[in-house]
Amino acid sequence: MKKILFSFLIIFPFILSAQDKCGVVMNDKQLQAKYSSWNQRKANFEAQIQAIQAQRKNSSARVEDKIYTIPVVVHILHNNVNNIIGGANNINIADAQIKSQIQILNEDYRRQLGTNGYNLNPLGADMEINFKLADVDPDGNATTGITRTYVKQTGFNFVDDKNQIAEIIQWDNEKYLNIWVTRGNNGVIGYASFPYDSKIEGLGANSSNIAEQELFDGVIIDYRNFGNCCGTLSQTYNLGRTTTHEVGHWLGLLHPNGDENCGTDYCDDTPQIESLNLNTTCDRLTSNCGSERITNMIENYMDYSPDRCMNVFTLDQKNRTRAALSLSVKRQVLLNNAEPLSNTEQLQVSVEPNPINSSTDGSIKMRVTFKDEQDLIIQLYDGRGILIQEKNLIKQKSGFFYLSSESLATGYYILNIKTNTENISKKVLVQR
């Protein structure tokens, strides 16, 4: 039973041939063939990350990191024609299994005492990142943070089909971490996008490939490796650490060996190793990548060890994720959107940006703050005073709210927002 990576992914625990192990190189070669600047883009991004890492590490003052909370939407893609939820061998997994995975992410990324995510390793780090199922959908409505979509397809190749998966359903990846859960059909149990977004300075993207690269951003997990309860789970990867690992990639982390013999993950406190742990046990492994043989850190979440062996992110890995988050425009926008807004004594409304144009992703974004919880009515009128959109939202907190602008012609519109006791109108300009 082994895990083999295709650069950004983990392979399902089947016994694989020697040819299959070349997936790491094959995947990277595909990207090199498709994008002539791929290697240079990676090198540029890596140089920027390392510069920020070094600055953080060499700072004489202790770096005070903000604790981030990332809203997650879990998309279940299943072929259960009767839409039955839960049970053995059912891709349409139960809510309890989904919630167990979110709990595991928080245990692992917060190094929570009394959980499987806690460790006594002096290099171990609290990543100071929380995860929560989204409670507001892209339209501003209350949600469980779980979607369920019937698909006829019995399984997906997570690498080749990632854009197809994203086209089936995806929430705005600048507001949510999208996690798709379905069945893999080629042995792959997990895949994640790195924060190599096209908006980062120096990555050399061009208009012909930006759209494709930005279509998919998130994580895909096989349903048999998601969470730690309630359904049919893998024997070796059954404690939710596949998702912990893949989210690590989404945050910018690499494998400890850099996907080559004695390679680097650019984190000095993870030992340099010959290869990743392909065993189904937690037995000690060693590597000789220099003058002496050293012990592998098989407990690191970014290795391929069985789930029960894993419980460590290191301080340098934390520094790396912080560097990647600060460089990636998409990740920064997501974190800013997730930031809770402070209440105000009176209703306050701003439209960001205004005017609305083709760069505003098809929506009118409103920053709305008020006191305590309020029922909201959001209305949009055209220039003739005719109501064209309306939302009624119950027991809302201060935050960002959205209306669609995709069907709006050029011109002025009136946005009206009401709480239980107050009312504010704003003029909005749409430019095409």
Q: What pLDDT, on a 0 to 100 scale, did the predictor assign at position 3? A: 42
Extract the tokens encoding 216. Answer: 């998919």
Confidence (pLDDT) at 85: 97
CB 145 within 8 A of CB 131: no
Sequence-ordered list of residues with C-beta below 8 angstroms from that of 381, at least 6 positions apart, any chain: 387, 388, 413, 414, 416
Listed in sequence order, the residues at least 6 apart from 429 whose beta carbon sits closer than 8 Å to its beta carbon are 354, 355, 356, 411, 412, 413
**How much is the pLDDT for 49?**
86
Q: What is the pLDDT along the chain (432 residues), one digit of tens a residue?
A: 334 343 333 333 333 332 232 233 344 556 778 777 778 877 888 888 888 888 877 765 555 678 999 999 999 999 999 999 999 999 999 999 999 999 999 999 999 999 999 999 999 999 999 999 999 898 878 899 999 999 999 999 888 898 999 999 999 998 999 999 999 988 888 988 888 654 444 344 444 445 555 788 999 999 999 999 988 999 899 999 999 999 999 998 989 998 889 999 999 999 999 998 888 999 999 999 988 899 999 999 999 999 999 999 999 999 999 998 988 878 988 998 888 888 999 999 999 889 988 656 567 889 999 999 899 999 999 999 999 999 998 888 888 888 888 889 999 999 999 999 999 999 999 998
Which secondary structure element, helix H or strand E, spans residue 330, and what is its range? helix 329-338
- Residues 260 and 276: their CA atoms lie apart, in Å, by 9
Order of strands, sheet of 399-404, starting from the edge strand that comes earlier in the sequence = 348-351, 363-369, 399-404
Q: Quick one: which of 172, 197, 186, 177 has its CA closest to 362? A: 172
Burial class (CB in 10 A: 0-12, 13-18, 19+), 88: exposed
Contact by Cβ (8 Å): 363, 405: yes
Integer CA distances (angstroms), 290 to 168, 258, 260, 262, 297, in order = 48, 16, 15, 9, 16
User: How many other β-carbons are positioned within 10 Å of the β-carbon of residue 329?
Assistant: 14
Contact 287, 298 (CB under 8 A): no
> What's the maximum distance between 2 C-alpha atoms anywhere in the chain?
79
The β-bridge relationship of strands 177-182 and 218-222 is parallel
Residue type, 243: T
DSSP H helical segments within 84-184, as ranges?
A: 95-109, 162-168
Residue 149 CB: number of other CB atoms within 10 A?
13
Q: What's CA 225's distance to the chain center, in Å?
A: 17
Domains of the chain and CATH, by start? 23-52+64-335 (3.40.390.10), 348-430 (2.60.40.1930)
- Which residues are marked as active site? 246
Given this model, what pLDDT does residue 200 score?
A: 46
Question: pTM for this one?
Answer: 0.80
